[in-house]
Structure 1
Amino acid sequence: MLTRTEGIVLKTQKYGEADLIATYLTSDKGIINAFAKSPRKTKSRFGSSLEPLTHAKISLWGKEQALPRITQSDIADSFRQIRENYRDFVNISKLVEILISLTPVGIPNKRLFSFFLNILHIVKSSEHELKDALHLITRIRLLAVIGYAPRLKGCGKCGEKSLDFYPDSGTTLCTKCAVTPDRAGKPFMRINNKVIHFYTHSIEWPINISNRLKPGRETLSGLSGLLDKHLTYLLSKKLRSSEFFSGTAAQFR
C-alpha cells in the first residue's frame, strides 16, 4: 500500500552496506521508522533528503508495522543552517533525543509535529546572541507539549511556596511535604525565584516572542542544571547529546 505524508528526519542508522533506516516525526502518523534502499550510494535518488532535521514530503510503500520502504522523498526545508551551527545542532539534538525517548512510536500527534517544525524555523532564523535562552526555552516547551514538564510553581502536593526541586517527584516540595518517612534522604536541588519566573514565562509566553526574555547567566545555568537532573531521572541516564557537548566544551576551556 502506498501512503504519502510529510516528516522531519530525527535520525538515521545504517542497515547493511548501503541502506538506511530513517526515524521520522510525521504530521499524521507520529514517530515512524522507514527503510531507504541504497541512499548512501553516490547516485542515490534520495540526495540529501535523509539528512538529520530535513523536512520532506515522503512516499511510503508497505505496512507501517512492517518497516515501510521510502519510495520518494522531496525536501521542503533542509534546515542545513542548523546542522552547520555546532551549538544549534547539539541543542536540537537534545530535543530529538527527548522526543525519541519519551514519545511512543506510531501515535499521531499533529500538534507535536507543528510545534517541532516551528522550533526548527525559529532557531534557524534567530539572532546568535539570543540562542542560549532560546534553546533552553525550546527544551522546556517540548517537555510541556509531551507532558513531562517539571512543576516549579508551588509545592506539588499542597501548593505552598517552595524552592526545593525533587527530581524523583518532578516537582518542588515544601519542607512539610518533603519530610515524610518514604522521602527520607531523597536528593533535591535548591532554586531561586528568578529561575521560577523565567521557567513560568517560558511556558506561558508564545515562543515566537521569547526573545523578550533576557535571563542572567546564573538563571540559565541553574534552570539548565535542573532540567538535566529532571531528564536524567526520567530516562534513567544522561542525555548523550549533553554529555557530548560537555566533553567537547571542556577541551576548549
Structure 2
Amino acid sequence: MLTRTEGIVLKTQKYGEADLIVTYLSSDKGIIKAFAKSPRKTKSRFGSSLEPLTHARISLWGKEQAALPKITQADILNSFHRIREDFQDFVNISRLVEILLSVMPDGAPNKRLFAFFLNVLHTIKASERGSKDALHLITRIRLLAAIGCAPRLQSCGRCGEKSLDFYPSSGTILCNKCAAPLTQERSTLRISNNTVRFYTHTIEWPIHISNRLKPRREVLAELSDLLDKHLTYLLSKKLNSSEFLVGANRTRAGASR
C-alpha cells in the first residue's frame, strides 16, 4: 500500500552498510520511522532529502500499520540547510528534537504540532545572524507549551496565590503554604518578576511578536536554568544537546581569552 505525507526529518540512524532508518515528524501521522534503501551510496536517488530538518513530501510503501514502511520517494519542500550550517541554530533545534522524541509517542497524529515545528524552522531560518539566545529560549518554551509540558510561572499551581519560588518536582511556582511539604527540596529556584513577565509574554504572544522583546541577559540565564531543571526532572535525565552546547560554549569562551 502506497501512502503519501509531508515530514520533517528529526534524525537518521545507520542500518547495515548503506541503509538508513529515518525518523520523521509527519503532518498527519505524528512521529514515524521509515526505511530508506541505500541512501548512503554515491548515486542514491534520495540526494539530500534525508538530511536532518529537511521538510519533504514523502511516499511510503508498506502495510497500513507497518512499523517500518519503505521510503520510495522524498521530494524536498524546504531544505533548511542554513540552520544546519549555523552551529548555535542547529544545536538548539537539536534540543527541540530531543524533547520531542523524549516526550511524544510514535504514531500519534498532531497536525498543530507539525505546523508549529515547521513555523519554528522558518522563523529561525529567516532570523538575522548573530545572537539568538532569546529566540532559542522562546522556541523551547513554546514547544513545551505545545506538547503540554510547560512549567507554570504566573502563580501558585495549587491555589493561585502569587509567588516567585519554582519547584521542579511540581513543575510550577508554589506559595509558602502549598510548598510546606516540600521545604527540603534543594533545587527550588527563586525567580524575578521580570522573568515571569517575559515568560508570560512568550507563552501568550506569537513567536514573531515575542521575538521582538529585548530581555536582559540575567532574565535569559535565569529562565534557561529553570527550563533545564524542569526538563531534567520531567525526563529523568539531562538533554544531551544541552550538555553538548554548554561544553562547546565553555570551549569557545576559553579559546577567545
Is TM-score (shorter-chain normalized) higher than 0.5?
yes
Match for 1:55: what amino acid?
H
Match of residue 71 from structure 2: 70
Measure, in 1, the Cα distance between the counterparts of 2:226 and 2:129. Answer: 24
- 1:36-115 map, 5 Å: 36-63=36-63, 64-115=65-116
Measure, in 2, the Cα distance between the counterparts of 1:66 and 1:203. Answer: 35
Measure, in 2, the Cα distance between the counterparts of 1:160 and 1:128. Answer: 41
Measure, in 1, the Cα distance between the counterparts of 2:131 and 2:200. Answer: 18
Measure, in 1, the Cα distance between the counterparts of 2:215 and 2:128. Answer: 16
- Whether the 8 Å contact between 1:130 and 1:211 is mirrored in structure 2 is no
- 2:195 pairs with 1:195: yes
Match of residue 15 from structure 2: 15
- Whether the 8 Å contact between 2:12 and 2:21 is mirrored in structure 1 is yes
- 1:214-253 map, 5 Å: 214-253=214-253
1:138-175 per-position Cα deviation (integer Å, ceiling 9, x unaligned): 00000001000000011111111111100010001011
Match of residue 5 from structure 2: 5
Residue 184 of structure 1 and its aligned partner are, at CA, apart by 4.2
Match for 1:31: what amino acid?
I
Q: Secondary structure at the match of 1:93?
A: helix
Measure, in 1, the Cα distance between the counterparts of 2:86 and 2:172. Answer: 34
Residue 131 of structure 1 and its aligned partner are, at CA, apart by 1.5
Measure, in 1, the Cα distance between the counterparts of 2:132 and 2:237. Answer: 26
Alpha-carbon RMSD across the aligned residues, in angstroms, is 0.9
Structure 1 alignment gaps of length 5 or more: none
- 2:167 pairs with 1:166: yes
- Whether the 8 Å contact between 2:9 and 2:51 is mirrored in structure 1 is yes
Measure, in 2, the Cα distance between the counterparts of 1:200 and 1:11. Answer: 32
TM-score w.r.t. length of structure 1: 0.97
- Whether the 8 Å contact between 1:59 and 1:72 is mirrored in structure 2 is yes
- Whether the 8 Å contact between 1:13 and 1:21 is mirrored in structure 2 is yes
Measure, in 2, the Cα distance between the counterparts of 1:160 and 1:67. Answer: 49
- Whether the 8 Å contact between 2:33 and 2:67 is mirrored in structure 1 is no
Match of residue 185 from structure 1: 184
Q: Secondary structure at the match of 1:154?
A: strand
Residue 251 of structure 1 and its aligned partner are, at CA, apart by 1.2
Measure, in 1, the Cα distance between the counterparts of 2:229 and 2:125. Answer: 28
Measure, in 2, the Cα distance between the counterparts of 1:98 and 1:141. Answer: 12
- Whether the 8 Å contact between 1:39 and 1:47 is mirrored in structure 2 is yes
Match for 2:197: what amino acid?
H
Match of residue 31 from structure 2: 31
Q: Secondary structure at the match of 1:251?
A: helix
Measure, in 2, the Cα distance between the counterparts of 1:47 and 1:212. Answer: 37
Between Structure 1 and Structure 2, how many residues are aligned?
Answer: 251
Match for 2:248: what amino acid?
T
Measure, in 1, the Cα distance between the counterparts of 2:129 and 2:54. Answer: 21
1:52-72 per-position Cα deviation (integer Å, ceiling 9, x unaligned): 000000000003433000000
Aligned-residue identity in percent: 73
Structure 2 alignment gaps of length 5 or more: none
Cα distance change, pair 130–244 in 1 and its aligned pair in 2 (3 A): closer
- Whether the 8 Å contact between 1:10 and 1:24 is mirrored in structure 2 is yes
- Which runs of at least 4 in structure 1 moved beyond 4 Å after TM superposition? none
Which moves more between the two structures, 142-151 or 58-67?
58-67
